[in-house]
Amino acid sequence: QQRQQRQHGQSTQSNKDKIALSYLVIMADNSCQSAYCNQGWSEVLTHMSPYGYANFGIAFGLGLSVVGAAWGIWLTGSSLVGAAVKAPRIRSKNLISVIFCEATAIYGVIMAIILANKVKKPDEAVSQLPEDWDWPGYYYAGYGMFSSGLSVGLTNVASGVSVGIAGSACAIADAQDASLFVKILIVEIFASALGIFGIIVGIIQSNACTFPIAALE
* pLDDT one-digit tens code per residue, 67-120: 999 999 999 999 988 888 888 888 888 889 999 999 999 999 999 999 999 998
pLDDT at 21: 45
* Distance set, CA 48 to CA 28, 30, 56, 68, 121 (Å): 16, 12, 11, 28, 16
Query: Residue 135 pLDDT > 50, yes or no?
Result: yes
Q: What is the pTM of this model?
A: 0.78
Q: Evaluate whether 22 touches 115 at the Cβ level (below 8 Å).
A: no
DSSP structure class, residue 11: H
Average pLDDT over residues 162-173: 92
pLDDT band, residue 27 (cuts 50/70/90): very low
CA dist., res. 77 & res. 45, Å (int): 40
